[in-house]
């Protein structure tokens, strides 16, 4: 298989690179400098020239706050996804597209299944939903994987922000009334990798939910991060979303039901706390290696 990965320098893309390095398949990793997915002609040309069978789209506009004001969010999360989907349909390639829990409004009292009604409350959520719709409308073979609260050793994410803030400050307020599931990008990459390397049956294409196991609030996540690295001096207090005004609204409850993915692909998913420890350990060893360099 020839597998094109777009946005390969982002959190998920970098984890795909770690796994692609040990695959017998041929992975082509690109980011905006090599393949700008807003350029429809470049996308078509890249897929044809490299005889691509599968595209994994890790590129996205992920800044939820800035998305409220910037047209770039729509260009990347909808229009560019439409480019990929149309090119995939023309080439009969499979498109693996990643979407978000923020397509839901957060009013459900139970975890969201793939069939639950969508109703995004932010521009980011609306552009991501429009991207999903473009994929389905194109008629291309596809897998849409909705995920949530992604973090990794690299990039801008909550885990890295909390590591910094709990080291710098004596106290911190973190919202306790937004509940979801922190998800290590390495776990999502491994799920995508297992599905692709296992050979995806056409009958199993469609929309799925993937996060790590378990549920918590951002407050709980922050407390666990600080505790794990011994940042005990910083006092973390729970606060309400209303006390911490942001431009973008976020769902209060965005837990995703992963039963369909586990049943269909037989994937075992770690608990978020276990993956958090793993990521922190990797971060520590990466920092150790960096400080050893002359």
Among all residues, which ones are annotated catalytic? Answer: 124
Query: Which residues within the stretch 47-76 sit at the binding site for ligand NAP (CB under 6 A)?
Result: 58-60, 62, 76
Query: Which residues within the stretch 170-229 sit at the binding site for ligand NAP (CB under 6 A)?
Result: 185
Piece of 113-121, 148-156, 234-242, 248-256 that binds ligand NAP (CB under 6 A):
148-156
Read off the tokens for 261: 């993915």
Tell me how far apart the alpha carbons of residues 48 and 86 are, in angstroms, rounded to a whole number: 13
Piece of 30-38, 42-50, 88-96, 226-234 that binds ligand NAP (CB under 6 A):
30-38
Among 83, 100, 181, 207, binds ligand NAP (CB under 6 A): 100
Q: Are 186 and 154 in contact (CB under 8 A)?
A: no
Residue least distant from ligand NAP (Cβ): 10
Nearer to ligand NAP, 28 or 230 (CB): 28
Tell me how far apart the alpha carbons of residues 57 and 87 are, in angstroms, rounded to a whole number: 13
Among 93, 148, 189, 261, binds ligand NAP (CB under 6 A): 148
Residues 6+ apart with CB under 8 A from 174: 162, 218, 219, 222, 236, 237, 238, 239
Binding of ligand NAP by 9 (CB under 6 A) = yes
Nearer to ligand NAP, 49 or 170 (CB): 49
Q: Are 5 and 12 in contact (CB under 8 A)?
A: no
Tell me how far apart the alpha carbons of residues 145 and 100 are, in angstroms, rounded to a whole number: 8
Q: Which of 19, 23, 4, 144 is nearest to 77 (CA)?
A: 144
Interacting residue ranges for ligand NAP, rule: CB under 6 A = 6-7, 9-13, 31-32, 36-38, 58-60, 62, 76, 80, 98, 100, 128, 147-150, 155, 185
């Amino acid at each position: 298989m020839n597998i094109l990965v777009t946005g390969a320098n982002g959190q998920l893309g970098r984890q795909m690179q770690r796994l692609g390095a040990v695959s017998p398949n041929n992975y082509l990793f690109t980011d905006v400098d090599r393949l700008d997915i807003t350029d429809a002609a470049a996308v078509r040309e890249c897929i044809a020239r490299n005889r691509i069978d599968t595209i994994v789209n890790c590129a996205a506009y992920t800044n939820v706050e800035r998305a409220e004001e910037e047209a770039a969010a729509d260009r990347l999360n909808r229009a560019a996804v439409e480019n990929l989907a149309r090119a995939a349909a023309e080439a009969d390639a499979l498109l693996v597209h990643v979407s978000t829990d923020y397509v839901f409004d957060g009013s459900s009292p139970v975890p969201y299944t793939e069939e639950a009604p969508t109703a995004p409350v932010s521009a980011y959520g609306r552009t991501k939903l429009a991207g999903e719709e473009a994929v389905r409308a194109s008629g291309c073979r596809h897998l849409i994987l909705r995920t949530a609260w992604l973090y990794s050793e690299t990039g801008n994410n909550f885990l890295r922000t909390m590591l910094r803030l709990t080291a710098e400050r004596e106290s911190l307020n973190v919202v306790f009334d937004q509940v979801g599931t922190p998800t290590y990008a390495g776990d999502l990459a491994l799920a995508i990798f297992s599905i692709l390397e296992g050979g995806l049956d056409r009958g199993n294409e469609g929309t799925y939910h993937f996060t790590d196991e378990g549920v918590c609030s951002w407050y709980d996540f922050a407390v666990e991060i600080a505790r794990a690295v011994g940042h005990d001096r910083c006092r973390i207090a729970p606060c309400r979303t209303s006390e911490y005004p942001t431009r973008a609204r976020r769902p209060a409850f965005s837990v995703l039901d992963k039963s369909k993915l586990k049943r269909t692909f037989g994937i075992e998913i770690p608990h978020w706390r276990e993956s958090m420890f793993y990521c922190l350990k990797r971060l520590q060893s990466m920092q150790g290696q960096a400080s050893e360099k002359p």
